[in-house]
Amino acid sequence: RHSAASLLAPPDLAPALRAGARVLHLTGITCALGTGPLEAVREAAAHAHAHGWTVVLDVNHRHRLWTGEEAGRALLPLLEHVTVLIASDDELPVVTGAFAERPRGEEAAVDALLAAGVREVVVKRGGEGAAFRDGDGSRHTVPALRVPVRDTVGAGDAFCAGYLSGLLDGLPPERRLDRANTLGAFAVASDGDWEGLPRRDELGLLTAAPGTTIR
């Protein structure tokens, strides 16, 4: 409330959209900040889709900002523009809640999202890892890395960063999930929301065998 972000409006994004991009990453939090931010997100998504960009939406639902019903109604019009939708397993009912027939269960929710035009759905399952499905019928499931949990703040954002990094690197879905899980594990194993995130040359540290010399 009363933040700079809450004053966001479509004209604010015009220079960045004109500059072009390969990927537009959106979060449900921006949509929850008010009418202006929601309209800015919708216009950006439409522009990116029309210009052939990859549009990624992280549902990122926050109960303190809006209800699940409000979020569902606001996010539904975005789905026709979304290439990749990322949601935790408990966020799937939020993003599908405004459908005429509300799907029950993860499988039905993903089916509904793919039918709505989303090309890839990535489901975060916390300590159980993550799953991927696309409109062509491909399925992948990757287990989480086992690490001591110190602080879960920022784990979802780290996961998205890992997935987007793999997407930009042209990795196949299973390896994108693996990188996403890896960044999520780094995040929860350290204090703070970004302080423990790895450099590219550190991605393999969590899977190094005990006794491995690291220089």
The residues assigned a catalytic role are: 157
Q: How far apart are CA 142 and CA 160, in angstroms?
A: 15
Q: Give the containing element (helix H, strand E) for 57.
A: strand 54-58
The SS3 of residue 70 is: helix
**101 φ/ψ angles, rounded to the nearest 5 degrees:** -115, 110
Whether 118 and 82 have beta carbons less than 8 Å apart is answered as yes
- In terms of Cα–Cα distance, which of 153, 46, 111 is closest to 123? 111
